[in-house]
């Protein structure tokens, strides 16, 4: 091929057709022209204005120049040659998306179509579109999608959309699971409405209608149960947050929102409310108990402030230990072994022989606190007057019979015992504390040592 051909002509093309083709190519925003492969380079035979500007050349001056003339790297030249030779060998067009780094360091993305030129052997027509902006937008969209997926997974949010005009709901798999829907199948507003618990639907619909009317900028947040069965058959609680989009006439056209399973949060909230109510009840009961302890202790030592103070403080500490035990268990059932340990904490361990089954014996909070006080009162009396006042011992033996605990307090080795002439506070406490919650108490005072047989209802497991 001669030099004149390389500057714009090619075989079998008239000057008129070349001018027409050149005008058409220059009118396009694409990069277009004709190129031929050499042994170790490629050469432009024709290029439109866009291609010339791309390489920083004046219009019409790109023809006849090679890749090396334009500062293209060896690797880039080889990549382009591979494409040109493949297209010519296959005799078929090829479209590729590729990255190109300019000699000045700038990098862009391009979509190029390379076609064998039917009018001349060994030549290829190229049409290239600069897709740098589109590629950047695609990458940003992918990044945004990845961030959204990460945020949805981290917060366990479901994503959904609603096409108002088409009445078509699009729920992601997480939202479908929340509402008990199958993984596939078309959904519409009626499907959603049927999946909301009927007691919660009126309030949910009111919030939705208000947003569709444009209130609060089209935003709304609702909490409701669904008809999907959660763990244990309970209804799943869902928090839905959404935003309505409007057209130019302020008509709602699209809704996008998130859904979150808040069943655990609702359960925790209900549990907290229950605990607050329970705490209220406990505070009132404790005030009444403290008043009763003060009144009864005063009757036992009306003229001895020191004795009153010692007895009163001892009983308050016993009450506090019972409450400490329950606090550790979040005010739920306490095991009998822990109750005994709390009650006998102020006394020497070697004075007691404790025996019972290894299986837990849970007690409700009221029974646990009262049993701590009863056992502490029995131990205090044993230390003052009974087996623990000398070298004696106390045995505590218990067993479980169905739903009832049976406990036997038995003192031996202390001074001879005589039945009390009057019923003191300790006796009244022992008799009344357990009976108030379905237990029984029987006190005996044989000469060899005091005994107390008690039964109590176990907590429901």
Got the DSSP string for 183-211? SSS-B-HHHHHHHB-TTTHHHHHHHHHHH
Based on the fold, state whether residues 327 and 448 are members of the same structural domain: yes
Residue 148 in any domain: the answer is no
Q: Up-side HSE of residue 221: CA atoms within 13 Å toward CB?
A: 2
Instruction: Give the pLDDT score at 283.
Output: 54
What is the chain's length?
A: 461
Q: Which domain holds residue 215?
A: 156-266
10 Å CB burial of residue 118 (0-12, 13-18, 19+) is: exposed
Instruction: Give the pLDDT score at 389.
Output: 81
Distance of CA 261 to the CA centre of its chain: 9
Cα(113)–Cα(91) distance, rounded to whole angstroms? 13
Average pLDDT estimate for 361-387: 80
Based on the fold, state whether residues 225 and 317 are members of the same structural domain: no
CA angle 280, 285, 289 (to 5 degrees): 150
Based on the fold, state whether residues 343 and 427 are members of the same structural domain: yes
Based on the fold, state whether residues 96 and 165 are members of the same structural domain: no
Distances (CA, A) of 248 to 166, 219, 243: 18, 18, 16
Residue 301 — very low, low, confident or very high, per pLDDT cuts 50/70/90? low
Average pLDDT estimate for 406-413: 92
Residue 294 in any domain: the answer is no
Based on the fold, state whether residues 254 and 321 are members of the same structural domain: no
What are the tens digits of pLDDT across the range 42-81? 999 988 888 888 888 888 899 999 999 988 889 889 999 9
Instruction: Give the pLDDT score at 375.
Output: 84
Based on the fold, state whether residues 109 and 189 are members of the same structural domain: no
More confident residue, 451 or 428: 451
Based on the fold, state whether residues 177 and 259 are members of the same structural domain: yes
Average pLDDT estimate for 357-365: 83
Kindly tell me if the per-residue pLDDT of 104 is higher than 80: no
Using DSSP's 3-state secondary structure scheme, residue 82 falls into helix
What CATH number has the domain bearing residue 422?
3.30.565.10
Closest by Cα among 405, 411, 404 to 385: 411
Instruction: Give the pLDDT score at 43.
Output: 95
* Cross-strand pairs, 99: 109
> Could you tell me which residues come within 8 angstroms of residue 438 by beta carbon, excluding any fewer than 6 positions away?
456, 457
Kindly tell me if the per-residue pLDDT of 221 is higher than 90: yes
Helices (H) and strands (E) in the chain, counts: 13, 17
Residue 431 in any domain: the answer is yes
Instruction: Give the pLDDT score at 107.
Output: 76
User: Which of 266, 281, 296 is the C-terminal boundary of a domain?
Assistant: 266
The β-bridge relationship of strands 352-355 and 393-401 is parallel
Based on the fold, state whether residues 128 and 162 are members of the same structural domain: no
Q: Phi and psi for 189 in degrees, rounded to 5? A: -60, -40
CA angle 420, 421, 427 (to 5 degrees): 50
Average pLDDT estimate for 83-100: 91
CB 204 within 8 A of CB 222: yes
Residue 304 in any domain: the answer is no
More confident residue, 152 or 249: 249
Residue 151 in any domain: the answer is no
Based on the fold, state whether residues 328 and 447 are members of the same structural domain: yes
Distances (CA, A) of 132 to 100, 107, 143, 396: 10, 9, 16, 85
CB 40 within 8 A of CB 47: no
CB 454 within 8 A of CB 441: yes
Distance of CA 97 to the CA centre of its chain: 41
Instruction: Give the pLDDT score at 2.
Output: 38
What CATH number has the domain bearing residue 222?
3.30.450.20
Residue 5 in any domain: the answer is no
Cα(161)–Cα(170) distance, rounded to whole angstroms? 5
Based on the fold, state whether residues 254 and 335 are members of the same structural domain: no
User: Which of 208, 239, 266 is the C-terminal boundary of a domain?
Assistant: 266
- The pLDDT mean for the chain works out to 79
CA angle 379, 385, 387 (to 5 degrees): 65
Based on the fold, state whether residues 320 and 445 are members of the same structural domain: yes
Enter the DSSP assignment of 387. G
Residue 300 in any domain: the answer is no
User: Which of 266, 282, 305 is the C-terminal boundary of a domain?
Assistant: 266
Residue 1 in any domain: the answer is no
Total domains in the fold of the chain: 3
Which of 100-109, 222-231, 396-405, 434-443 ranks highest by mean pLDDT? Answer: 396-405
Kindly tell me if the per-residue pLDDT of 320 is higher than 70: no
Based on the fold, state whether residues 130 and 191 are members of the same structural domain: no
Rounded percentage of the chain residues whose pLDDT exceeds 70: 72
């Amino acid at each position: 091929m001669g030099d004149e051909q390389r500057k714009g002509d090619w075989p079998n093309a008239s000057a008129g057709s070349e001018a027409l083709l050149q005008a058409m190519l220059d009118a396009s925003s694409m990069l277009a022209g004709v190129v031929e492969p050499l042994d170790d380079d490629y050469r432009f035979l024709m290029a439109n204005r866009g291609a010339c500007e791309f390489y920083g050349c004046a219009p019409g001056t790109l023809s006849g120049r090679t890749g090396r003339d334009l500062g293209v790297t060896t690797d880039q030249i080889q990549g382009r040659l591979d494409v040109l030779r493949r297209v010519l060998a296959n005799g078929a067009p090829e479209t590729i998306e590729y990255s190109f780094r300019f000699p000045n360091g700038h990098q862009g993305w391009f979509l190029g179509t390379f076609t064998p030129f039917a009018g001349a052997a060994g030549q290829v027509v190229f049409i290239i579109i600069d897709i740098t902006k589109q590629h950047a937008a695609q990458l940003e969209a992918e990044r945004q999608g990845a961030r959204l997926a990460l945020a949805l997974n981290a917060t366990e949010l479901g994503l959904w959309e609603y096409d108002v005009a088409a009445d078509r709901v699009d729920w992601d798999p997480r939202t479908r699971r929340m509402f008990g829907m199958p993984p596939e199948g078309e959904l519409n507003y009626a499907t959603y409405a049927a999946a909301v618990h009927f007691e919660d639907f009126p309030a949910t619909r009111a919030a939705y209608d208000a947003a569709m009317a444009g209130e609060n900028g089209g935003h709304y947040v609702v909490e409701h149960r669904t008809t999907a069965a959660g763990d244990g058959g309970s209804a799943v609680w869902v928090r839905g947050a959404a935003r309505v989009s409007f057209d130019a006439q302020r008509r709602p056209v699209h809704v996008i929102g998130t859904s979150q399973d808040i069943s655990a949060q609702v359960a925790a909230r209900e549990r907290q409310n229950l605990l607050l109510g329970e705490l209220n009840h406990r505070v009132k009961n404790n005030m009444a108990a403290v008043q009763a302890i003060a009144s009864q202790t005063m009757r036992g030592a009306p003229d001895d402030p020191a004795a009153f103070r010692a007895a009163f403080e001892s009983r308050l500490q016993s009450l506090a230990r019972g409450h400490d035990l329950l606090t550790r268990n979040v005010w739920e059932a306490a095991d009998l072994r822990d109750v005994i340990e709390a009650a006998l904490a102020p006394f020497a361990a070697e004075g007691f022989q404790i025996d019972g089954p290894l299986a837990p014996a849970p007690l409700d909070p009221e029974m646990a606190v009262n049993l701590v006080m009863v056992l502490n009162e029995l131990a205090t009396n044993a230390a003052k007057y009974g087996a623990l006042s000398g070298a004696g011992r106390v045995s505590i033996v218990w067993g479980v019979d169905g739903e009832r605990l049976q406990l036997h307090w038995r003192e031996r080795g202390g001074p001879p015992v005589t039945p009390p002439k009057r019923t003191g506070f300790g006796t009244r406490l022992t008799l009344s504390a357990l009976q108030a919650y379905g237990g029984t108490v029987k006190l005996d005072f044989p000469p060899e040592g005091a005994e107390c047989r008690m039964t109590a209802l176990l907590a429901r497991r």
